[in-house]
Amino acid sequence: MKLWVISDLHLEFRVPFNHQPPEETDVVVCAGDINRKGIIPSLRWLADTIVPEIPIVCVAGNHEFWGGSVQENIRDAREFACGLPNIHFLENAIVDIGDARFIGGTLWTDFRLFGREPALAMAAAEEGMYDYRRIKFTKQPYKKFKPIHAFRKHQETRDFIAKTLQESQGQTTVVVTHHAPSSRSIPTWDQEDSVVGCYASHLESLILDAQPSLWIHGHVHSRNDYNIGGTRVVSNPRGYPGEWTGFDPGLVVEIGANPRSNEELAGSALAVLDNVPDVDPDREEE
């Protein structure tokens, strides 16, 4: 199965996104931050823009919540997505497509990146991240979105992913989140930023325990492709206008392939050699 991976299109800047999935694409995966206008407008854009024959798996980014509330946005987006046959919006949810199971959610973070004290990281986040000025947690009753809410949402999604991966042993599993699962996704020049704890969490132990086939994320505006144990971690963000992120509009990631082991390859090579006819070196040319 071949996945077209994109994220962080940031259409709110009115820079058109004119790319379509490569011909070989089986599933489109969008890891959040299509625009700032809400989850439903992002889902509608995907449905209206991407060819309808291809299933689309997506999660919400932090920017999708700006100007709205977390809880109501998620509720309304789930209901809206039910009317879009090729759109699969995941927030602590799964969808099985072919032989692959997609497990997803925004994820948020636990504010512990690089060993920082969570209380201090939360204080820095509340001061320095626009999320905590532009997002409500609920409208009715009104609650301002605070770092403690992000922390609790992170715990919910992390626990859901871990539980689902354990229940999905033997399947090809793809985790899709907006926030990153490892500090390895953070560029070195951003690692000392006071709000770096809002971008990723240390989930290496979860990954090593469960070994999903692939983990796709967004949020960090730099392209990533690395392995944690047997799990490939990939991000492919477009980012802001004029920002260099390494975005590849043709990036396709393949899953579910069963490459032969070294022993099998060696056996095949020996079989080929065994079938080569013997040639008598003393035979005279006719």
Check if the beta carbon of residue 109 is closer than 8 Å to that of residue 154. Answer: yes
Residue 108, Cβ neighbours under 10 Å: how many? 26
Q: Is residue 286 part of a domain?
A: no
Q: Indicate whether 252 pLDDT > 80.
A: yes
CA separation for the pair 176, 101 (Å, rounded)? 11
Here the tokens at position 37 are 């206008």
At 68 the pLDDT is 97
Report DSSP letters for 43-72, one per residue: HHHHHHHS-TTS-EEE---GGGGTTSBHHH
With pLDDT > 70 as the criterion, what percentage of the chain qualifies? Answer: 90
pLDDT digits (tens, 9 = 90+) for 19-52: 999 999 999 999 999 999 899 999 999 999 999 9
Classify residue 283: in a domain, yes or no. Answer: no
Q: Which amino acid is residue 4, in one-letter code?
A: W
Classify residue 2 as left (phi > 0), alpha (psi -120 to 50) or beta: beta
How high is the pLDDT of residue 192? 86
Q: Is residue 272 part of a domain?
A: no
Q: Is residue 194 part of a domain?
A: yes
- Residue 282 in this model has a pLDDT that exceeds 60: no
Question: What distance in Å separates the CA atoms of residue 111 and residue 108, rounded to the nearest whole number?
Answer: 9
Is the pLDDT assigned to residue 161 strictly greater than 70? yes
Number of residues assigned to the chain: 286
Is residue 139 a part of any domain in this protein?
yes
Residues above pLDDT 90, as percent of the chain:
85
264 within a domain of the structure (yes/no): no
pLDDT at 55: 98
Domain, as residue range, for 91: 2-259
DSSP 8-state code for residue 198: G
In a domain, 155, yes or no: yes
The CATH number covering residue 145 comes to 3.30.750.180
**Is pLDDT above 80 for 264?**
no
What pLDDT sits at residue 270? 47
Average pLDDT over the chain reads 92
How many domains does the chain divide into? 1
Residue 250, CA atoms < 13 Å, CB-side half-sphere: 3
In this predicted structure, what is the pLDDT of residue 187?
A: 95
Residue 155, both tokens: 């715990």
Number of neighbouring beta carbons within 10 Å of residue 268: 11
Please indicate, yes or no, if residue 250 is contained in any of the structural domains: yes
pTM of structure: 0.89
Q: Which residues of 207-217 are buried (b: 16+ CB within 10 A; e: fewer)?
A: beebebbbbbb
